[in-house]
């Protein structure tokens, strides 16, 4: 009889897709990394690693950025400083599954490490110990009932009882001061006048940024054969995939890249603003942030320059009448009349 050559092949499990959605506006998430104040070397590393937008950055945790080839801690600090003015941050870390166990968990782990015979022996010893203790208590109670204590013994017993009551109260207070995991609660003040360090070194309350629900446009971009185009809400192709890069439509205009330069098209795929910008952002409040070389400025929907190209970095307008610009290492808020309040 020949050998059984049947083998069971197991497919390597795929990493589950992340269901994390960064809580920021769609225009910020779609902003190209070229619009950030990053060095040429860092931009090249990010692009080779498949990170092309701000959304690609903030959907990752900080430590996950080290998976990108040649990315190091210096580059991480540079990226953190570049995205901070946009009001965005990396995906928050979750509690690690291999975090140190608490006392109860460690005790359970030690119990699980014992053999069944050892656990049975420990259980029997505990039961015998409780039986001996109960028998000793009963014997003392019978002896106490046989003879009435003298006056001095009664005073001593009262003092001992008060001491036991005090210790029981201390243990009760200590349990009240601890949470379910056995850790001492913050802000509790013990009756033994111990120092409450949370009042001496107060911590600032963590305030989470409000979630901004993205506004979905009726045109959505899609990619085919490495090029970008647009479909309508029914999935019908309305603009063919001919662009190297494309941003979502905003205010009926979209920034697209052709031959290494950005311009703007309308919903009829008509080039309204010619290809001449190195980077481009989406329109907001009628203005869009663009860059020529190393400097950034703003243009309106006709391509007219509304803010000169004098800034090192610029962000889209927030919808509240201002945007963020950077010059000479300082960030400030710029309004539609061109005034900047530096910080």
Pick the residue with more confidence: 66 or 117?
66
26-86 has CATH 3.40.1280.10 classification: no
Q: Can you give the pLDDT at residue 340?
A: 93
pLDDT of 288 above 90: yes
Residue 148: pLDDT band (50, 70, 90) is low
Q: Per-domain residue ranges for the chain?
A: 26-86, 104-139, 220-342
Q: Can you give the pLDDT at residue 73?
A: 84
pLDDT of 12 above 90: no
pLDDT of 244 above 60: yes
- Which range has the top average pLDDT, 75-84, 158-167, 277-286? 277-286
Q: Which region among 32-41, 107-116, 225-234, 263-272 has the lowest average model confidence (pLDDT)?
A: 107-116
Q: Can you give the pLDDT at residue 322?
A: 92
pTM above 0.75, yes or no: no
Residue 216: pLDDT band (50, 70, 90) is confident
Pick the residue with more confidence: 13 or 216?
216
Pick the residue with more confidence: 292 or 16?
292
CATH architecture classification, 220-342: 6 Propeller (2.120)
CA 124 vs. chain centroid, Å, equals 49
Averaged pLDDT for residues 224-246: 95
Q: Which region among 114-128, 142-156, 243-257 has the lowest average model confidence (pLDDT)?
A: 142-156
Q: Can you give the pLDDT at residue 115?
A: 61
pLDDT of 32 above 50: yes
Q: Which region among 186-190, 213-217, 251-255, 277-281 has the lowest average model confidence (pLDDT)?
A: 186-190
């Amino acid at each position: 009889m020949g050998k059984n050559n049947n083998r069971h092949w197991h497919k390597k499990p795929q990493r589950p897709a992340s269901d994390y959605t960064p809580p920021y506006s769609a225009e910020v998430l779609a902003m190209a990394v070229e619009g950030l104040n990053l060095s040429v070397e860092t931009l090249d590393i990010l692009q080779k690693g498949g990170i092309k937008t701000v959304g690609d950055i903030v959907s990752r945790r900080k430590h996950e950025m080290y998976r990108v080839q040649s990315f190091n801690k210096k580059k991480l600090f540079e990226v953190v400083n570049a995205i901070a003015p946009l009001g965005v941050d990396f995906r928050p870390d979750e509690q690690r599954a291999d975090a140190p166990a608490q006392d109860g968990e460690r005790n359970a782990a030690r119990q699980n490490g014992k053999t069944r015979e050892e656990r049975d022996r420990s259980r029997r010893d505990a039961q015998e110990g409780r039986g001996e203790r109960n028998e000793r208590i009963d014997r003392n109670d019978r002896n106490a009932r046989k003879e009435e204590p003298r006056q001095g013994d009664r005073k001593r017993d009262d003092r001992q009882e008060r001491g036991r009551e005090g210790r029981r109260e201390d243990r009760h207070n200590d349990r009240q001061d601890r949470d379910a995991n056995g850790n001492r609660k913050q802000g509790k003040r013990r009756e033994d006048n111990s120092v409450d360090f949370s009042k001496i070194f107060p911590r600032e309350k963590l305030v989470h940024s409000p979630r901004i629900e993205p506004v979905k446009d009726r045109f959505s971009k899609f990619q085919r054969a490495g090029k970008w185009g647009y479909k309508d809400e029914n999935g019908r192709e309305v603009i063919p995939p001919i662009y190297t890069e494309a941003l979502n439509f905003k205010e009926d205009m979209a920034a697209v890249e052709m031959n290494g330069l950005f311009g703007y098209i309308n919903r009829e795929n008509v080039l309204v603003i010619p290809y001449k910008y190195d980077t481009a952002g989406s329109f907001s409040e009628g203005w869009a942030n663009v860059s020529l070389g190393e400097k950034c400025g703003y243009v309106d929907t006709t391509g007219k320059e509304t803010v000169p190209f004098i800034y090192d970095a610029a962000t889209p307008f927030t919808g509240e009448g201002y945007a963020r610009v950077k010059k000479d290492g300082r960030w400030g808020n710029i309004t539609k009349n061109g005034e900047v309040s530096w910080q």
